[in-house]
């Protein structure tokens, strides 16, 4: 974080809140000239501080109202087992996140589904056939209390 000054942080915070700001509006928000603002944003992109721009889709509007967190324990920790699991899970369209964990579970997956029945389909079709799996524990989210994509900078 030492490469970021206060102006860079203001730029990142503004873009995290509203990624579609025009350069003119962004420069106004952070008190920079449009040309200086454009150069800084380009540098932040080039240096990897900004890795991309996306539209955040409302899951309820696309019938993905159910979020399930799945803890997975593997039979072994060998590199080939981990690699095979990670390659397979990366191909499952309903898995939004997959994290290698420290603790009881080896992996934590965030899965979206229409409902419990749809999750059963995802489980049968994809999760049950993941390589190297010894155990699986699924927890359904009842309500999302806080969700953000904005990192504190």
pLDDT along the chain (153 residues), means of 10: 87 96 97 97 97 95 97 97 98 98 97 98 97 98 95 95
The pLDDT of residue 92 is: 98
Q: Which pLDDT does position 125 carry in this prediction?
A: 97
Q: Which DSSP helix (H) or strand (E) runs through 139?
A: strand 133-140
pTM of the model: 0.90
pLDDT of residue 36: 98
| Residue 103 forms part of a structural domain | yes
41 and 65, same structural domain? no
Instruction: Note whether 84 and 133 are same-domain residues.
Output: yes
Residue 17 falls inside a structural domain: yes
Task: Look at residue 142 in the predicted model and tell me its pLDDT.
Answer: 97
Give residue 2's pLDDT.
57
Tokens of 33: 């000239």
HSE, side-chain direction, 13 A CA sphere, residue 63:
6
Is 20 in the same domain as 63?
no
- Determine how many CB atoms are found less than 10 A away from the CB of residue 36: 12
Question: What is residue 17's predicted lDDT score, i.e. its pLDDT?
Answer: 95
Assess whether 66 and 134 both reside in one domain: yes
Task: Answer for the pair 46, 64: CB distance below 8 angstroms, yes or no.
Answer: no
* Number of domains forming the structure of the chain: 2
Q: How far is CA 53 from the centre of its chain?
A: 13
Structural domain of 27: 6-46
Specify the pLDDT at position 68: 98
């Amino acid at each position: 974080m030492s490469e970021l000054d206060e102006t860079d942080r203001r730029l990142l915070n503004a873009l995290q809140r509203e990624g579609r700001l025009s350069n003119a509006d962004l420069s106004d928000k952070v008190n920079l000239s449009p040309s200086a603002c454009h150069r800084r944003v380009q540098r932040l992109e080039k240096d990897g501080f900004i890795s991309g721009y996306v539209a955040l889709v409302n899951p309820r509007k696309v019938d993905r109202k159910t979020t399930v967190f799945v803890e997975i324990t593997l039979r072994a920790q060998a590199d080939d087992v981990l690699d095979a699991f990670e390659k397979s899970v990366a191909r499952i369209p309903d898995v939004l996140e997959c994290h290698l964990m420290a603790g009881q579970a080896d992996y934590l997956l965030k899965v979206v589904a229409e409902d419990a029945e749809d999750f059963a389909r995802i489980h049968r079709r994809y999760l049950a056939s993941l390589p190297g799996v010894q155990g699986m524990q699924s927890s359904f989210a009842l309500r999302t209390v806080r969700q953000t994509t904005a990192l504190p900078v």
